């Protein structure tokens, strides 16, 4: 790979955007995180509800769910707010991805019959809002679980691994890591990858936007994603004070 390839914002192919994770960003949520990845900024909040969906009642296990939203001023042109309970299809798809990603790393049987609800609100979008949401939401979830443990509401930590997500793609025929909006909008191939800290894949969403991609290119993209996610997980642990 040509490491000297210069991208739109001056980064090399395998260089992610600067990451900042600020915990306890709001007062009332049991877990809240402001995550910044480059110019993309997302507020992730985790709140505990002592109920579960009706289909789970009586099963003595919990649930984790997520909602995703982009604020009107998060994009260059004003985004319309969701009205009358209607959520646009893109937001529905993303919030389902966030929920699946978080449920993959938690033992719902240890959570008890309660729900942790995650809200991911995009304050500013410059590509990678869904991946930043997953990465920040995990830290908010971790803090919410710790809140339950500290108050002895649950006895065991249900979280069994860390999880983070990042985008990769092919831009100007080069595999690159962590696409900003300008790169994403022109990408030949666009992919979002979710992994845990065991190196296991949780979800891979990849699309040949302008042409098909080869097995060799897929391997290069997944290798970039793995390195990027390992860095993000180290940033999560730093934010949480975990060595």
Q: Compute φ and ψ for 78, nearest 5 degrees.
A: -55, 130
Q: Is 128 annotated as a binding residue?
A: yes
Residue 187 near residue 169 (C-beta atoms within 8 A): yes
Cβ burial, residue 216 (10 Å; 0-12/13-18/19+)? exposed
Q: Is 129 annotated as a binding residue?
A: yes
CA dist., res. 113 & res. 110, Å (int): 9
* CA end-to-end span of the chain: 32
Residues in binding site? 90, 128-130
Residues in binding site for phosphate? 90, 128-130
């Amino acid at each position: 790979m040509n490491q000297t390839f210069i991208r739109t914002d001056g980064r090399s192919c395998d260089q992610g955007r600067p990451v900042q994770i600020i915990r306890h960003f709001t007062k009332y949520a049991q877990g809240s995180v402001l995550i910044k990845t480059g110019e993309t900024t997302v507020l992730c909040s985790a709140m505990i509800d002592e109920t579960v969906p009706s289909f789970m009642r009586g099963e003595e296990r919990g649930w984790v769910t997520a909602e995703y939203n982009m604020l009107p001023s998060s994009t260059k042109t004003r985004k319309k707010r969701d009205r009358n309970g209607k959520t646009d299809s893109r937001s529905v798809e993303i919030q389902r991805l966030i929920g699946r990603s978080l449920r993959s790393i938690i033992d719902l049987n240890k959570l008890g019959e309660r729900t942790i609800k995650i809200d991911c609100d995009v304050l500013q979008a410059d590509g990678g809002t869904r991946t930043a949401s997953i990465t920040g939401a995990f830290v908010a979830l971790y803090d919410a679980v710790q809140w339950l443990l500290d108050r002895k509401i649950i006895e065991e930590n249900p979280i069994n691994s860390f999880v983070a997500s990042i985008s990769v793609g092919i831009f100007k025929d080069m595999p690159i890591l962590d696409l900003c909006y300008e790169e994403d909008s022109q990408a030949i191939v666009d992919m979002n990858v979710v992994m845990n800290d065991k190196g296991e894949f949780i979800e891979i969403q990849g699309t040949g936007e302008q042409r098909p991609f080869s097995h060799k290119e897929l391997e290069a993209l997944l290798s970039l994603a793995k390195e990027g996610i390992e860095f993000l997980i180290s940033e999560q642990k730093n934010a949480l004070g975990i060595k």
